[in-house]
Structure 1
Amino acid sequence: MRRAAPVALAAVSALVLAGCAGGGDAESTPTPTAAACMDVSSGDLSDGVKVEGDFGAAEPTATFDTPLETKKLERTVAIEGDGDETAAGDVVDVVISMFSSTSGERLVSQPAQLGVGDDTVLEAFGASIDCVPVGSRTVTVAPASAVYGDQGNETIGVAPGEAVVIVADVTGIVEEPTPEPLPTPAEWTENVPEVTFNGDEAPTVVIPDAPASTELQLKVLEEGDGATVGEGDSVTVQYEGINWATKESFDSSYSRGEPATFSTSGVITGFAAALVGQKVGTKLIVTIPPELGYGTDPAAHELGGQTLVFVVEIEDTQAAE
């Protein structure tokens, strides 16, 4: 029932994320606290890198003495922008270019979106976008310990223990879209499947031989008396997901032997709409049309175009922080 994640560029993941470099043991710095800036300053090495190329364009050139060796992270703001300053929690649009400290060769240059203060981003890349005005170009000289460590990154050509030079053009701060309000499920009164709960085992659900509903419909099988689930809450549930057309289960927390915990903002729309407003302890069944599930295109997702049925037991909810 989780939303399909956007397909990330493999090169971006291999480039900037801790755990994606070579053997997955890359070091990273803990996330700065909100509103705090990383303790990184300029130095002779970062000041000495000359960068040419239009701001925001891919494939700039960087000139510096090679081989460049350093054990200290340095960052110089080569171009200071006049936009809003990036802060922890922001997601920024940035053009990242990286150069070998040994040969001076440009290894990669591409746009990316990175989180400021995100501890899944390697220290050097975090430093390149931290607390700078939009429109800035930074030059970061990074020792191996701030990027890929002793294992290097074979995917993009960084040797074990090699330092790198990173040029980052911070082009904007990504504004989070205002989420659309969740739909309100209609009461499900006709062609409701028969449900028999079996303790810790998956419930028995009998789908009738009838056309699937084209609406989002819900029936409360047993009403709870606990806290009410709110939008964005972290909920803990047991659930069974069934394809109306095939009458077969496609996903089940029961089969995994433990309930699932997730944010209501991280699941398909119909599933979230079924949970929000319900109380802990509630057992329910919901039918979800394709447009509120995994879409109408079978080529885009294996459950595309399918009407889904979920039987859910709500065990707990925690308000979003």
Structure 2
Amino acid sequence: MRSSTVRIRPLAALSVAALSVLLLAGCSGASEPDASGTQTPAAGECTFGAPSGATSDAIEVEGVGAAATVTVPADLEFAELERTVLSEGDGEEIVAGDLVTVTYQIVDAATGEVLEDSATSPAGDGEIVPMLLDPQAMSIFVAALECAPLGSQSVLAIPGAMLGEGAASVVVVAQAEETLPTVATGADQEPVAGMPAVTLDEDGKPTITIPDADAPATVEIALLKKGDGETVAAGDAVVVQYEGVKWSDGTVFDGSWQRGTPSQFQTTGVVAGFRQALEGQQVGSQVLVVIPPEFGYGEKEGDALQFETLVFVVDILAVQHAATQ
């Protein structure tokens, strides 16, 4: 299963995705991404390590989350990326790769206009948005929240120069509310006869055993755990743990478990069989899917998986809903 990086749809004059990409490009201190596309800081280090400074310290915030009132002093100079922790929570320290719920506002520093917030974002549920803190896709939130305890409220000052020629400076006020599970938590379901067998280790990592039988000719899906969370719809962005093996020899060819952090992507950015396994399922579910080449990589000439039937176990951890037209 290969996919492009998640992109949140623009919800106002400025999109989170555009901010994230430009901020990542502008931070010279960030480490190089690994082969999975997920950027991993060195042990014990922050990805961005934005310090507090005169600019971030001068921004006033009253209240929390999307309801907060943000006041930026007139003519405040935005020269460097700065972060001030306004209030410190009492949870575990947040690091890149964590899966959390977030409340936030993104504000135009010059006008005070709220460009986007968690309460009106279609990606979220109510006033919170579930978010995998992946520096490649959600870098503004990594910069705002990392290396501070869960529950902390921070203000991030982003100079317009980091966002492109002529761009306005931006203020992000964010708070990580809760840590979400990184394995499926739904109710166990009865195994389906003829499907691969799945066992889980103490951390929830699956081992997949292929049956002594011919591979099916159509996509086959079995629910291993049934969650009761939000339902995944077409075009939604999902956060998952997954393991993929070949039916032909049972070897692992891809998976988030080897990378040590969940993955995120849109349902429209994966092969057809994988998409079928996601859409219509609820957060908290664990899905087993068998994907023949026709619904996988069969049309990709020369691909190493072109003629392979693929088997995935997918834990659906969170969903960000697509904006409706």
Q: Normalization by structure 1: what TM-score?
A: 0.42
Bigger relative contact order (CA 8 A; separation at least 6): 2
Structure possessing the higher radius of gyration over alpha carbons? 1
Q: Could you tell me the TM-score, scaled by structure 2's length?
A: 0.41
